[in-house]
Copies of this chain bind each other. A is one copy, B any other.
Amino acid sequence: MELIGDLPARPLDPAACFNQHGDPSDDGVSARSFRGPVAVVLPAGGCGERMGLSTPKQFCKLLDRPLISYTIHAFERIKWIEAVIVVVAEQHVELMKSIIQKYNHEKTQWCVGGLTRHRSIFNGLSVFVDDKFMECHLTKPKVVIIHDAVRPFVNEDILLKIATAANDHGAAGAIRPLVSTVIATNSEHFLDHSLERSKYRASEMPQAFLFDTIYKAYQKCTEYDFEYGTECLHLVLSYCNTQAKLIEGPPTLWKVTYKQDLFAAESLIKETLSQNVCVITDVDQEALQLGHCLKKMLMTQHMDVEVISAEYGKKKLCIPHVSSQESYNIIIIGNTELQEKQEVIDVIANSSMTLLYPMVLILVYISLPESTPFSKKLDEPSAIRRLAKEAKHRNILVYGLLVNYTKDSEELNESLENMCFISKSLMKDRNSALTGQLLVV
């Protein structure tokens, strides 16, 4: 696919946890123009009817992690957000508890939802004030953000705008232009009238409210509202006379509704994960040259590339640096022993990086014309396979790449282009079926 996008390189953040250019959370508190705790309620009680799925969409897996964990992480990474309450159906409580534990969602707690969206949100809000949740030790927030579990790409920028506007005006919500014209039908399924598109907007999530305002609205609203209403903004308007401020959000706020949305979400995550790479080379001439060329080529593909050269045995020392850069791709160039590679894998696995996303590790071997052909070292390919098989269980995807190094500059250039093309595609696809393969360029 041609990647000419409307999405800025970084702020996509399928959790901007991998944000190289300064963590926006750092400025979050100071940029925030109001004081007081902010919490989040995430209704996730849906049962997936719309998609016709056996698994509700918030629990569908992207890169082997449930969608809802991405959404939770998008909030947890923001310093000024203190707590996230996920509201789930009774039958998903155990699943939700296991997700919170497995992905170490420390700010997150769960409660059981009601039969409709509004009842679920009300249950989520009650956790902060109802005596029966006292054991949760939660402070009632000044501002509460309400979001959908199935909109994982919410970023700090829009959250800050919405929370600030809610603090100032009592309520705020994200909107988007309408993609299609909206029409009214009559009872025989004929067109009654169409709305002028420019006068209307789609109401999206997130929305935010002064806690007391939205809680009061729910206390006052009718059974009919609980049963058939869809829009919190409407409730605060009707019952608290609070007119919500509306703020234009980015297209990535879209709601994962159909199967094609799951595809889109996974592709966006993979694209973001493949935007930067750390290349660690041996110190010998060929490895250095390969590292240099690879950097040049990957940069023309709009990747951020950092090259580090290290002696035998020192490579594992570079990993804390990679980890601090939040890069999910490492390429190691050089023919050093497998033992060294195993040590690097151990360091990666012991950092917490691979908890949320699979790491790609490409081992580049150099076959020199004067040395024993690599393909004759029969033990090496199967050793890579064993290494990779074990690493896969630790969420590290290991691939081998064999470069035939020649003095013929035209041939070498073709090899290098191939190396770049294949590396880029391995980082982009994160295909777990191909780990342990030794690819030849």
Q: A184-237: which have CB < 8 Å to B? A: 184-185, 189-191, 193-195, 197-204, 228, 230-231, 233-234, 237
CB within 8 Å for A194 and B203 given contacts A260-B268, A381-B440: yes
Q: A376-402: which have CB < 8 Å to B? A: 376, 378, 381, 385
| A31 adjacent to chain B (CB < 8 Å) | no
CB within 8 Å for A180 and B194 given contacts A5-B259, A421-B433: no
Q: Which 8 A-B pairs have the closest CB atoms?
A: A263-B267, A425-B433, A264-B264, A260-B264, A6-B52, A180-B202, A5-B259, A251-B258
Q: What band does the interface of chain A fall in when counting residues whose beta carbon is under 8 Å from B?
A: 35 or more
* Residues on B with beta carbons closer than 8 Å to the beta carbon of A437: 437, 439-440
Q: Of B51, B202, B243, B247, which is within 8 A of A182 by CB?
A: B202
Q: Of B52, B60, B234, B260, which is within 8 A of A267 by CB?
A: B260
Contact B182 A178 (CB under 8 A): yes
Contact B268 A263 (CB under 8 A): yes
Contact B6 A51 (CB under 8 A): yes
List residues of chain A with CB under 8 Å of any chain B CB: 1-7, 50-55, 60-63, 169, 171, 173, 175-176, 178-185, 189-191, 193-195, 197-204, 228, 230-231, 233-234, 237, 243-247, 251-252, 254-255, 257-268, 271, 373, 375-376, 378, 381, 385, 421-422, 424-425, 429, 431, 433-434, 437-440
CB within 8 Å for A6 and B53 given contacts A251-B260, A262-B1: yes
Give me 18 other A-B pairs in contact (C-beta within 8 A), A251-B258, A434-B434 excluded: A1-B60, A4-B60, A6-B50, A6-B51, A6-B52, A175-B185, A179-B202, A181-B231, A182-B182, A182-B200, A183-B203, A183-B233, A184-B201, A185-B200, A190-B245, A251-B257, A376-B376, A434-B439
Q: Of B199, B244, B375, which is within 8 A of A184 by CB?
A: B199
Q: Which residue of B lies closest to A1 (CB)?
A: B266
Contact A200 B181 (CB under 8 A): no
Give Cα distance in the complex from A260 to B257, angstroms.
13
Q: Would you list 13 pairs from A and B whose C-beta atoms are within 8 A, ordered by A residue?
A: A1-B63, A1-B263, A4-B55, A5-B53, A6-B52, A180-B203, A183-B246, A184-B200, A194-B203, A194-B231, A267-B267, A425-B433, A425-B434
Q: Of B183, B230, B262, B375, which is within 8 A of A201 by CB?
A: B183
Give Cα distance in the complex from A429 to B199, angstroms.
42
Q: Of B5, B183, B233, B261, which is within 8 A of A200 by CB?
A: B183
CB within 8 Å for A183 and B179 given contacts A194-B231, A246-B190, A260-B252: no
